[in-house]
Each structure stands twice: as C-alpha cells, then as structure tokens.
Amino acid sequence: MAKSIADDSAGTSTPAVPDKTVTHKPAAVLIVGAGFAGLGMAIRLQQAGINDIVILERSTEVGGTWRDNQYPGAACDIPSNLYSYSFAQNPDWSRSFSGSREILGYIHHLVKEFGLDRYIRFGKNVEQLEFDERKGLWSATTSQGEVFSGRSAVMAQGPLSNASFPDMPGIEQYKGHKIHSARWDHGYDFRGKKVAVIGTGASAIQIIPELVKEVEHLTVFQRTPGWVMPRPDFETPEWNKEIFRKLPFTQSVLRQALYLAHESMALAVIWSSPLTRIAERVGRWHLHSQVKDRWMRRQLTPNYRIGCKRVLISNDYYPALQKPNCKLITWPIYTLCENGIRSVEGIEHQFDCIVFATGFEVSKAGSPFPVIGVGGRQLNDDWSRGAQAYKSINVAGYPNLFFTFGPNSGPGHNSALVYMESQLDYAVRGIRKILGENLKMLDVKPHVQKQYNEGIQKRLAKTNWNSGCMSWYLTEDGFNATMYPGFATQYANQMKEFRDKDYLLVPG
Amino acid sequence: MAMIDLDKMLEKVKATQWALADIDWDAPGAEMITEEQWPKLKDFMVDLMWIEHVGARGFAAMAKKAPTETLRQIYSYFHAEEQRHANAEMALMKRWGMLEDGELPEPNINLRLVIEWLDRYADEMPYYVLGTVIPMLEIALDGALCTFLLETVDDPVCHQAFEKINDDESRHLGVGFTVMEMQGHNKTTIQMVKTMAPMLDPRLMLGIAAYFPLLNKMRDNVVKMGLPEEKLYAAMKKFKKIGGRTAEGRRNPWYQLIQHHGAIMVNRANRFYHVPVDAAVKATGMIPRRMLPAVPSWVKELTWEPTA
C-alpha cells in the first residue's frame, strides 16, 4: 500500500451514548493508537523500565494502516529490512518489499514477542484528550464515555488513518458499488465487472496491476502523473534468511547499507541537485522502456520536479495500463452520476464499481479529535494556520504530550520507522523525566518552538516539496507542515539531545 | 476584450460543464437536412470536427507550457472541451447518417499533416506562439464556420449542441485574448524581439508549411459549401480588432505577425502568397496516404457515443 509513513489505529468507530462515566485509575503513560507507533512506544517504554502503560485502540485489532490497507497488491515501498524496528529485526521477510499482510504479521509478532496485549484496550475510540493542569494529568474520553488518564500521553493515532470518500461533485448520486482503497471490500466479486480506479498515487499503482487481472474492464482516471521508478523487488532466498537467523549482525549490516543508500537519495529527492536530474532521467527511461506509445508516454510524464510529490515505485503499473482490458483517462472528471463518471470530453463512463484510491485526510491543520491543553486552548485553533511543534514531538501549551509523526517529521526518501525510532527514544527521555522528577508539567517554551519552526520553514523553502507542485504535503495555502527538510541522520541527531532548558518544568 | 480574472474563469469553466448525454440525439429534426445539403454538409462537418480536434491537441501543448497553475488547469479543461466539441460534432454526423458504427472520418490531407506536426512538435513550441495561433483558429471557427452552420442547418438538435459549444468557445476566446495581452505586458522591445527567434526553428517552419495550405484548403472547402468567403475574412478581421484593442495586445509581435498573415490571406489579389500556397494545397493533395505514418493514438480517442 505504499506507505513510508506508518500510522495507527482506524477501523470503525461506533459512538455510543454514554449512560454513565467510567473513570479508570491514571496510568503513567497513555498511548492513543496501537499501530507501529503506539506499539513501538510501548516497547521502548517497557525496555526503559516503564510498565504502567495504557494503549487505547479504536479497532478490535492492532496494526493501524497495515490492518486497514489490505487491498490487492498492498505492499510497502521501503525495503522491509529498513521498514521495521532496529530493536526487533525480522530475519524471515519473504521479499525485499513485503506485502501488507506480512507487515501486519510482523506487527502481531511485536505484540506477542514483547507481551504488549496487557496494555491494549480495544474498541476505545478517543473522542477528546484534555489536560488537567491542576493534577498534571491527560484524560482521554472515549465514545463509550469511559475516561482513561495518564501522567503523560502519546499521540500515536497516525497521520494517514482517516480514510473517506473524496468530496467530488455527484458522489452521492452514484448508485454503483464504491470502495475506498484503505477500507477494501473483500467480499466484492470483481469478475466480469466494469471498474474504475480514481487516482494514480501510491495505493492506486499497486491496486491497478492486481485488479486488471480480475475485472472485465478497468478504467483508470489520472489527474497528475507521478514519477514512477523501477522496484528492485525479489524473493529472499532461504539461505539468506538462515544467515540472518544465525548471524544477526549481517542483517544489521544490510539495514545500515539500505539506510545509507536511502540517505543518498535525499540529494535527489529533497533538494534540486545534479542527482535530481539523474533520478528524473531514470524515471523517464523506465517510462520509455515500458510504454511504447508516444501519446501514452506523454500522458504519463510528470510535469513537476521529482521529489515534489511522493516518488512511486513499480514494475507492473505501466504494463497493467497497457493491457487490452485497461484504459487510462486523463480528461478531468467533472461529476459522478448515477451510472458512473462524466469527464470533460463529454462522455459518461459507466461502471459497476468505482475504487477511490484518493488518499487520506492527512492531519495538517489539526488532530482527528479535540486536544485541549493548558487554559482550555485547543490544538485545532493553535494549528489552524498550519501545524507546528518543537522537533515534531512537543507543542507549547500541551505539556507532557508527545506526538509521533508530528508536524514536519515526514521523510521523502527514507523509512518512516527510522524517524519513528528517534521520536520514541526522545519521548522515553521526556517521560522518564516527568516520572523520575515527579513533574506536573514538562512544557516546551513557546519561543523555542517558534525559533525551531522558523528554521524549519526557512530550510523547507529550498526543497523540492515547495517547488510549485500541489501535494498532500502542503496545506491549501502552500504551508508545509508535513515534511522534515533534511537527512534522516540530521533528524536523528536533533532528537538525540533532550535539552532541559528548552522546557518549562513545573514540579508536582 | 478586457483582461479577465483567470481564477474566476477557471471556476466558471468548472461550473459550466456538460456531456453528450445531456442531448437527446434521437430527437426529431434530423430529417430537416436536405438531400442536396447532405454531401457538402458531411465534408464540412468532417473538417469542422478535425479542426476542433487539432485545437484540442494545441491546448494540450499549452497546458504543458502554461506559466501558472491556474492557466495549466484552464488549458487542461479546454483540451478536453475541444475534444467534447469534436465528439458532439461526430454525434451530429452519426445522427445525420454520415457515420457507420465504429467509423472515424478521414481528415483531409492538410489536416492530416497538421496532426502529424502537432504530434511531433507541438509540445516543443513556445507558449506565446501557440497562444496566438490558437485564438486565430478559434475565431475563424467560432466567427465563421459555426455561425454559418447554424444559418444553414435547421435541425434543432444541431442548434442545441452548438449553443453549448459556442458558450465554451467564447470562454476559450476570452482566455486566449487575455493571454495574448499578458504576453505584451511589461516587456522590453528586446524581449519582444527575442520572442520572434523561434521563427528560425525548423520545426516551426515545418508547422508553417502545414498551416498555410490548411487555411487555404479550408477556405476552398467552406466556399464549396456555400459560405461566403467574406465571412471567413470578417472573422480574421475580428481577430485583428480584438487582439489589437489594447497597447499590450498590439505589442505582442506574434499577434502582429499573425494578423498581418490574416490580412494577406484574405487578399486574393496577393498572388505572391496565394499562388505558392494554392500550389502547395494541390501538391499535398497528391501525397499518397500510405506514405504517411500511422495516426497518433490520441486521434483514436474520438467517439460519437455519449456513454462508454
């Protein structure tokens, strides 16, 4: 499913009218979400000797994005040896780029291996998170009316966890079957059906090659073509797994090599450099070698600098588009109608089913539920002009609260879990301080946060993400609250140091 | 024509879309085409439809070169809208019994050459060249061909379709002239002269070699159909008048060049121009079709069927 950003919980929320409030005993740490981030946080806390943890998960299963994104072809586009935790390596990855089921299996393995079940409360959909400055406690109210609290809280709900049908004209008139890529309908039989896929992003390019094998006819609606690079995917031989099992350091060496290789890609993807031109040349070569028709190549040629949007990787996307039962449409869609899609060339394209591979609601300007900080301040208000945090993890006015995948922590070139590990370790340091020194509040100083963000925005201005294309990295006003403008190593270095002087410390 | 707000124009374009399915192509009125009209009308419609399609490809090239995101989106819509016009015109031909199932009418050889040129070189042409040539073709289409068609044909479905087509075309012209003026705005003389440099580009020369005979051929075809030549010429004068109504518009050297060419084209007495160009029309008419490469795949996307 092509996430280099892992995220957490989703699933169905079933708000219920609370009949009475159930308040639980405060924990040391309250974590929202049991995906990669939330579970990783629990592991690192446990390893640091902190075991009084509660994880609130709105679904009935762990896994976050990888639980939700089970569409045909769903896989990671970062090699598995890098898209996994360094403190929990898996010698048994079956392929260099594993599918979502295998990644979900790895997440289940983490739960078992580290005994995380005891912390998780399933079916708890957080509707509000509020800080009580008198007690120094965060309280999470769930849709069932229960209140869970903690001396510190970790937002691990995931930036890509909320999937919904896009706000397209006429969508409510369409009478056929609708499927969102992140909520796949496994019961739907595609055989003999006329199907449309709207979108050609990271999820779509994985779905299309699989769907085209099954359906009678597939029509792909593209708005903006992306840069598609070759995918060096292969099966891991048994002997290789055996070596990893017997000599774990060899897997660490491979991981380090992969890490450095991805780091070098920053020079092509994040900033405009001669390597950017080379990467674009590789992309064009890939297109040229797989697509013979000049017009189709033109339709598939991106009109923006590589890196400005997410770089896609696939070997079978272009061939799938050229199958006899597949058609690429680049005319703008102007409305959906009862039987399908009307595009501007005046034709009504009729379908039995439309697959929306249109992405997620990325929380760029707020959180998915109200977060109330000191003095009743609301995170959505504070972030209304673009999300900001200190080192992506703390926000002034919201003491003892730690964000995973917070503002400006997204990588464009490396594994999100590499960034995640730095965040987890930083949060552990902060939480240890709160608990060890019995602090009521550990709150980043506003001017420190401001200064940090000024630096970030200054650096972002020089990156490819801010070079003019429209992407989900940017808000509608063009503000980039998503990506980190630097190498993963730079990010890790800034997270290594926890400076007390950057924080306001209020003893308990 | 005053400069228009392009952001508002984009919103308007998005809000005023229509589909072939909005028109009842089987409604009564097709019988109003007379037997005498039928063969000439067929030739006329084929030319008209191909010119729309060629215009569509021109807008596709403009979208690649657009200096702003708003213009890029506008041109992407215009590209599709011109395709819609060609599709609607094919639907009319189908209604009038001029098309067999699955038939794509053959473009005349001059259009065929222009299609070939567009496919190979349109994306390489500077924005300001396309930005001036396209309004010229649009105005000829809008001001002369479509008007003439509506004066000649009584079929109400044809009028219904062209009411929609003309609404689209008026927006295309509004943007076209605004862009021509933008190109003449705040430019030094040196900068303006520099925009003429592509004249020496052999690819553009090839384009001109395809474009001049096409205009003369079109003139011959519409005259054969009964369109008074003056109507075509009046449309070209309209281009001169609207394009040159502001100082910025007049400063655009490509506007000057194209309106001068228009003036030469309408002057039948200019033998220095018309003798060689008419000869080129004849010469191109002798090119065997099998010598031409296969039509590009974008041509095959045309359809008269309202649903797919």
Distance from CA of A303 to the nearest CA of B (A): 7
Q: Determine contact, residues B296/B119, Cβ cutoff 8 Å.
A: yes
Instruction: Please name the residues between 13 and 52 in chain B that touch chain A, using a CB distance below 8 Å.
Output: 14, 17-21
Give dist(CA A40, CA A42) in Å, integer: 5
Is A470 close to B69, i.e. CB distance below 8 A?
yes
- What share of chain B has pLDDT > 70, as a percent? 93
Disruptive mutation site among A331, A344, A467 for chain B (greatest number of B CBs within 10 Å): A344
CATH code reported for the domain at A171-227+271-356: 3.50.50.60
Residues of chain A in contact with residue B167, where contact means CB-CB under 8 angstroms, are: none
With a cut of 70, say whether residue A291 has pLDDT above it. Answer: yes
With a cut of 60, say whether residue A362 has pLDDT above it. Answer: no
* Chain segment A394-416, per-residue pLDDT in tens: 999 999 999 999 999 988 889 99
Residue A114 phi, psi dihedral angles, 5° rounding: -105, 5
| pLDDT at site A19 | 52
**Which member of A293, A348, A468 has the closest CB to residue B19?**
A348
Is it true that domain B35-301 has CATH number 3.30.70.120?
Answer: no
Residues of chain B in contact with residue A342, where contact means CB-CB under 8 angstroms, are: 17, 19, 21
With a cut of 50, say whether residue A13 has pLDDT above it. Answer: no
Is B83 close to A295, i.e. CB distance below 8 A?
no
Coil, helix or strand for A197?
strand
Q: Determine contact, residues A299/A115, Cβ cutoff 8 Å.
A: no
Distance from CA of B304 to the nearest CA of A (A): 9
| DSSP conformation class of A463 | S
Instruction: Please name the residues between 327 and 366 in chain A that touch chain B, using a CB distance below 8 Å.
Output: 331-332, 334-335, 339, 342-350
Compute how many other C-beta atoms are within 10 angstroms of the C-beta atom of residue B238: 17
Residues of chain A in contact with residue B77, where contact means CB-CB under 8 angstroms, are: 332, 344
| pLDDT at site B245 | 82
Q: Can you say how many angstroms the Cα of residue B190 is from the centroid of all Cα atoms in its chain?
A: 31
| pLDDT at site A395 | 97
Residues of chain A in contact with residue B14, where contact means CB-CB under 8 angstroms, are: 334
With a cut of 50, say whether residue A427 has pLDDT above it. Answer: yes
Give dist(CA A465, CA A306) in Å, integer: 9
| pLDDT at site B219 | 77
Name the residue ranges covered by the structural domains of chain B: 35-301
Q: Determine contact, residues A422/A37, Cβ cutoff 8 Å.
A: no
A357 or B110: which leads in pLDDT: A357
Is B20 close to A343, i.e. CB distance below 8 A?
no
Give dist(CA B112, CA B106) in Å, integer: 9
Residues of chain A in contact with residue B306, where contact means CB-CB under 8 angstroms, are: 346-348
- Interface A-B, measured as beta-carbon pairs within 8 A, has a size of 65
| pLDDT at site A150 | 96
Q: How confident is the model at residue B189 (pLDDT cuts 50, 70, 90)?
A: low
Amino acid at B249: G
Distance from CA of A340 to the nearest CA of B (A): 10
Residues of chain A in contact with residue B305, where contact means CB-CB under 8 angstroms, are: 347
- What share of chain A has pLDDT > 90, as a percent? 80
Coil, helix or strand for A131?
strand
Task: Give yes or no on whether A22-162+361-441 and A171-227+271-356 have one common fold.
Answer: yes
**Which member of B14, B84, B123 has the closest CB to residue A345?**
B84
| pLDDT at site B136 | 85
**Which member of A334, A342, A350 has the closest CB to residue B14?**
A334
With a cut of 80, say whether residue A139 has pLDDT above it. Answer: yes
Average pLDDT over residues B59-81: 93
Give dist(CA B78, CA B58) in Å, integer: 10
B50 or A220: which leads in pLDDT: A220
**Which member of A295, A303, A343 has the closest CB to residue B296?**
A295
Is B308 close to A470, i.e. CB distance below 8 A?
no
- What share of chain A has pLDDT > 70, as a percent? 94
Best CA proximity match to B260, nearest among B239, B281, B231: B239
With a cut of 70, say whether residue A18 has pLDDT above it. Answer: no
Give dist(CA B108, CA A109) in Å, integer: 68
Which residue stretches of B245-288 are H helix?
247-251, 253-266, 271-285
Residues of chain A in contact with residue B119, where contact means CB-CB under 8 angstroms, are: 294-295
With a cut of 50, say whether residue A16 has pLDDT above it. Answer: no
Residues of chain A in contact with residue B20, where contact means CB-CB under 8 angstroms, are: 346-348
| pLDDT at site B188 | 67
A477: which residues sit within 8 A by CB, 6+ positions away?
A385, A386
Average pLDDT over residues A291-308: 93
Low-confidence winner among A32-41, A233-242, A353-362, B224-233 (lowest mean pLDDT): B224-233
With a cut of 90, say whether residue B155 has pLDDT above it. Answer: yes
Disruptive mutation site among A167, A327, A328, A334 for chain B (greatest number of B CBs within 10 Å): A334
| pLDDT at site A143 | 93
Residue A150 phi, psi dihedral angles, 5° rounding: -155, 150
**Which member of A296, A303, A347 has the closest CB to residue B306?**
A347
A222 lies within 8 A of chain B by CB:
no
A151: which residues sit within 8 A by CB, 6+ positions away?
A26, A27, A28, A29, A136, A137, A138, A400, A434, A435
The CATH class that applies to domain A22-162+361-441 reads alpha beta
| pLDDT at site B301 | 87
